[in-house]
Amino acid sequence: MTGSRMTEKTAGIRDVAAHAGVSQTTVSHVLNATPHTRVSEDTAARVRAAAEELGYRPNRFARGLRTHASDMIGLVTEEIATTPHAGRIILGAQEEASRRNLTLAIINSELNPDPEVDSAQVQAFLDRQADGIIYATVYHDEIVAPENLRSRPAVLIGARDASGSIPAVMPDERAGAAAVVEMLVAKGHRRIGFAASVEDVPATRGRLLGYQQAMQAAGLPNDDLVAFGSADARGGYAATLELLDREPTAVFCYNDRMAMGAYRAAGERGLVIPADLSVVGFDDQAPIPDSLFPTLTTVTLPHYEMGAWAVSTLASLLHGKDEEALLAAHPTVLACPLLERESVAPPRSAALL
Amino acid sequence: MTGSRMTEKTAGIRDVAAHAGVSQTTVSHVLNATPHTRVSEDTAARVRAAAEELGYRPNRFARGLRTHASDMIGLVTEEIATTPHAGRIILGAQEEASRRNLTLAIINSELNPDPEVDSAQVQAFLDRQADGIIYATVYHDEIVAPENLRSRPAVLIGARDASGSIPAVMPDERAGAAAVVEMLVAKGHRRIGFAASVEDVPATRGRLLGYQQAMQAAGLPNDDLVAFGSADARGGYAATLELLDREPTAVFCYNDRMAMGAYRAAGERGLVIPADLSVVGFDDQAPIPDSLFPTLTTVTLPHYEMGAWAVSTLASLLHGKDEEALLAAHPTVLACPLLERESVAPPRSAALL
DNA sequence: CTGAAAGCGCTTACAG
DNA sequence: CTGAAAGCGCTTACAG
């Protein structure tokens, strides 16, 4: 088994050159399509044929040694494990990297409030010759990026750098929440409760703000329609129970887990969703929305898109497109689309009209 | 911004040698702790001090060019996105890689029944000089591994290679399911229903087999206690409804999503979990178990462990430990531990005794 | 215990 | 349009 692997001496550029009857220089020019270099189509064809025939694969080490480029970018993610959405960030980054012929390497970092500690992970990528680094965090408005992140092109996902000098991307939580309220209002709801999270993170603030602004814009009072709970099913259950005493026709939950609690609360009160009560979540956290009865209308986060954005932005930076300062000045904000499923209907009162 | 990055000429081994007053050879020996090479402690200390002071970081390209090793391993995963557990496989692999000073690069591959198509992903890693490759699939008993996987050390996660020549690891679904039945029996249950999945995948077969074997071993009839449904909440709902007509005291579901449906079905029939009916899931798929009322007792899959196993096994293979044939002969099977939460109680009948 | 020197496989001025 | 040659920064026999 192992034996069959040992002796496969792979062809080098020298072999290709010999086989095509040209110099290594020419082979290199043809295969890399070096700009400002003319090679006769005839010669080029011979080179390509030889490379093909010999199964030539350029040695990355040798190339890197000359060009100082690895075509590898490093992704440092806070807590791959515990954040349910990291997978989609990774997927977006990975697929965009493949499209651009870049290798994506990943390192997990512990969740911690002070990202300066993460410089070890960044260093690991610097040591490994990563061309650029993506630093993905969850739940931070602003972070102090590890100092060594500045020694290579870098972009941030999910947080803005305190110094404002690193391009960053984040979801537009506020607009996503506002869109939910607008949709509910359009369906005729006026008493729309919000089951808010007690956590003090950007998502909490952004979603609450979006709710409040949209309610105000619609001329709807909402002071008594916000209840707080922990950001899980139990918290959603408790907050919804509290809200239900104030007779809302719809409950918008901070996230899908809280929405699970809202379903439970509605069930206990004998309320049928969506006939008696509309419920909306946020996060589109698999497998919740499709597993609920009825399926949950919710808002999806642009994790895939943020991952892809990070890679393509980094790629531009690597190619010297000097938009870095521009990009860094204002974080890029990506939309959170509303996903309508079955948990929303017009309120009973509207049906009476 | 960009400017501050440009001119940092990093120290090379030559600089360290000059600074320490020794040759490059000696620096290399000291820093790499080359076996069978004596260097006086005095000299070694000077070298280390110089390296430290200059912030010396060996150039990976140059080293790789000589040693033919990248210290990078590639992970090809089928559908990072849609499989909920891929994240934990990646995490396990990543953390084990970090422990061993290896870089983990990942490539996503489309979910497809014929993994031969994935040779492009494998090729990408070969081209990038990966030392070894982990090929992770979901839901396959046996696959035909891409031919080019054999050109480097490789291991499989979640499937056995048809030729039996590549080491593989998979979860012990059967034992995990059997443990559930045993636990239920120990609590006094005798009529234990199984809400099975209609999918024809190893997990389906393994879990059903484990259920049947354990029931038989306990001397419990079970022919009428199996109902089939799709592997989601709707399927679990339908299967449980069917099962409920046969008056089980416990329903064991193929997975946690089906268990969500079982909760719904129990609720509709006015059954309180666990007092009137015990429910058990499988997968420990976040955030379901903790989001249910009551929390769900379930079985967890060793995804993290499989990822870590893959990396450490690959590392042994890379270091020439010739256990490959041994390992490849029989897939390694990892346990699926039972996680007891709140959804199981002794049956009412037992309470009467 | 230490070092001089070759060479890994490319890219890239430079020359023609 | 094409090629000879230097050199990227290491490791590793080999010699002393």
Query: Is the CB atom of residue A103 positioned under 7 angstroms from any atom of strand D?
Result: no
**Chain C: bases < 7 Å from a protein Cβ:** 1-13
> In the structure encoding, which two tokens stand for residue A56, read together?
């030539």
Query: Is the CB atom of residue B29 positioned under 7 angstroms from any atom of strand D?
Result: yes
Q: Nearest chain B residue to A61 by CA: give it.
A: B61
- B63 located within any domain: no
Query: Is the CB atom of residue A91 positioned under 7 angstroms from any atom of strand D?
Result: no
Q: Do A293 and B108 touch (CB under 8 A)?
A: no
Answer yes or no: do A251 and A215 share one domain. yes
Average pLDDT, chain B: 90
Q: Tell me the longest C-alpha to C-alpha distance in chain A.
A: 87
Give residue A268's domain range. 173-301+339-352
List residues bridging with A107 in a β-sheet.
A76
Positive or negative: CA dihedral A228, A230, A232, A234:
negative
Mean of pLDDT values over A170-184: 97
Nucleotide nearest the Cα atom of A47 (by C1'): D2
**Residue carrying structure tokens 């090729």:** B123
CA atoms within 13 A on the CB side of B314: 34
Chain A residues touching B292 at Cβ < 8 A: 233, 260
Q: The CATH number of the domain where B77 resides is what? A: 3.40.50.2300
Mean of pLDDT values over B214-238: 96
Answer yes or no: do B92 and B37 share one domain. no
Estimate the share of chain B in helix, then strand, then coil, as percent rounded to the nearest 5.
45, 15, 35
Domain count within chain B = 3
Chain A residues touching B4 at Cβ < 8 A: 150
A72-78, strands of its sheet edge to edge? A332-334, A168-171, A154-157, A132-136, A72-78, A103-109, B103-109, B72-78, B132-136, B154-157, B168-171, B332-334
Query: pLDDT digits over B286-324, tens only?
Result: 999 999 999 999 999 999 999 999 999 999 998 876 666
Answer yes or no: do B98 and B145 share one domain. yes
C-alpha triplet B97, B101, B105: angle, nearest 5°: 50
Answer yes or no: do A117 and A240 share one domain. no
What single-letter DSSP state applies at residue A115? G
- B67 located within any domain: no
List residues bridging with A78 in a β-sheet.
A109
Interface test with B, best of A99, A291, A322 (most B CBs within 10 A): A291
Q: What does residue B113 show for φ and ψ, rounded to 5 degrees?
A: -70, -20
Mean of pLDDT values over B174-190: 97
> In the structure encoding, which two tokens stand for residue A196, read together?
């808010």
Answer yes or no: do B200 and B347 share one domain. yes
> In the structure encoding, which two tokens stand for residue A237, read together?
């259950």
Interface test with A, best of B106, B241, B301 (most A CBs within 10 A): B106
- State, as a whole number of angstroms, the distance between the CA of A67 and the C1' of C2: 33
Of the candidates B58, B80, B97, which is a domain's last residue? B58
Answer yes or no: do B102 and B14 share one domain. no
Query: Is the CB atom of residue A31 positioned under 7 angstroms from any atom of strand C?
Result: yes
Q: Which of A47-61, A99-113, A213-227, B239-253 has the lowest mean pLDDT?
A: A99-113
Q: What does residue A21 show for φ and ψ, rounded to 5 degrees?
A: 70, 35
- State, as a whole number of angstroms, the distance between the CA of A251 and the C1' of C7: 71
Q: How far apart are CA A46 and CA B91, in angstroms?
A: 46
3-state secondary structure of A44: helix
Burial string for B149-168 (b: 16+ CB within 10 Å, else e) reads bbbbbbbbbbbbbeeebbbb
What is the gyration radius of the CA atoms in chain A, in angstroms? 27
Q: Do B127 and A84 touch (CB under 8 A)?
A: no
Query: Is the CB atom of residue A12 positioned under 7 angstroms from any atom of strand C?
Result: yes
Cβ of A202: how many Cβ atoms within 10 Å?
20
Q: What is the pLDDT of residue B66?
A: 94
**Residue carrying structure tokens 């086989």:** A19
Nucleotide nearest the Cα atom of B38 (by C1'): C1
- A53 located within any domain: yes
Answer yes or no: do A191 and A297 share one domain. yes
Q: Which of A179-183, A196-200, B114-118 has the lowest mean pLDDT?
A: B114-118
- B194 located within any domain: yes
Q: The CATH number of the domain where B49 resides is what? A: 1.10.260.40
Q: Nearest chain B residue to A326 by CA: give it.
A: B1
Mean of pLDDT values over B106-121: 74
Most confident of A53-57, B2-6, B209-213: B209-213
Answer yes or no: do B198 and B259 share one domain. yes
Chain A residues touching B129 at Cβ < 8 A: 59-61
- State, as a whole number of angstroms, the distance between the CA of A73 and the C1' of D14: 39
Q: What is the pLDDT of residue B4?
A: 43
Q: What is the pLDDT of residue A165?
A: 86
The distance of A241 to chain B (nearest Cα, Å) reads 15
Report whether A26 contacts A17 (CB < 8 A): yes
Residue B66 neighbours by CB under 8 Å, 6+ apart: none
Residue A330: pLDDT band by 50, 70, 90 thresholds? confident
Q: How far apart are CA B121 and CA B149, in angstroms?
A: 10
Between B86 and B305, where is the model more confident?
Answer: B305
Q: Which of B103, B54, B148 is nearest to A5 (CA)?
A: B148
Answer yes or no: do A318 and A203 share one domain. no
> In the structure encoding, which two tokens stand for residue A172, read together?
């537009």
- B64 located within any domain: no
Q: How far apart are CA A126 and CA A135, in angstroms?
A: 13
The distance of A84 to chain B (nearest Cα, Å) reads 8
- pLDDT over 90 at A349, yes or no: no
> In the structure encoding, which two tokens stand for residue B202, read together?
């190893």
Taking C1' of D2 and every protein CA, the nearest residue is A26
Q: What is the pLDDT of residue A2?
A: 38
Q: How far apart are CA A104 and CA A76, in angstroms?
A: 11
Cis omega (within 30 of 0) on the bond before B287?
A: yes
Q: Which helix (H) or strand (E) holds A299?
A: strand A298-299
- A67 located within any domain: no
Residue B186 neighbours by CB under 8 Å, 6+ apart: none
Q: Nearest chain A residue to B166 by CA: give it.
A: A1
3-state secondary structure of B124: helix
Between B240 and B149, where is the model more confident?
Answer: B240
Side chain identity at B236, as an amino acid letter? Answer: G
Q: How far apart are CA A104 and CA A131, in angstroms?
A: 11
Answer yes or no: do A319 and A347 share one domain. no
Residues 26-45, chain A: which have Cβ under 7 A from strand D? 26, 29, 37-40, 42-44
- pLDDT over 90 at B143, yes or no: no
Side chain identity at A49, as an amino acid letter? Answer: A
Q: What is the pLDDT of residue A324?
A: 65
Side chain identity at A345, as an amino acid letter? Answer: A
- A65 located within any domain: no
Q: How far apart are CA A220 and CA A281, in angstroms?
A: 20
- A162 located within any domain: yes
Q: How far apart are CA A148 and CA B242, in angstroms?
A: 61
Between B351 and B44, where is the model more confident?
Answer: B44
Q: Which of B149, B77, B156, B144 is nearest to B115 (CA)?
A: B144
- State, as a whole number of angstroms, the distance between the CA of B12 and the C1' of C15: 31
Q: How far apart are CA A153 and CA A118, in angstroms?
A: 17
Q: Do A324 and B237 touch (CB under 8 A)?
A: no
Residue B352: pLDDT band by 50, 70, 90 thresholds? low
- State, as a whole number of angstroms, the distance between the CA of A298 and the C1' of C4: 70
List residues bridging with B334 in a β-sheet.
B171
- State, as a whole number of angstroms, the distance between the CA of B37 and the C1' of D14: 14
Q: Do A98 and B108 touch (CB under 8 A)?
A: yes
Mean of pLDDT values over A91-101: 94
Answer yes or no: do B291 and B317 share one domain. no
Answer yes or no: do A212 and A344 share one domain. yes
The distance of B186 to chain A (nearest Cα, Å) reads 30
Taking C1' of C11 and every protein CA, the nearest residue is A66
Give DSSP secondary structure letters for B292-306: SSSPPBEEB--HHHH
Q: Which helix (H) or strand (E) holds B135?
A: strand B132-136
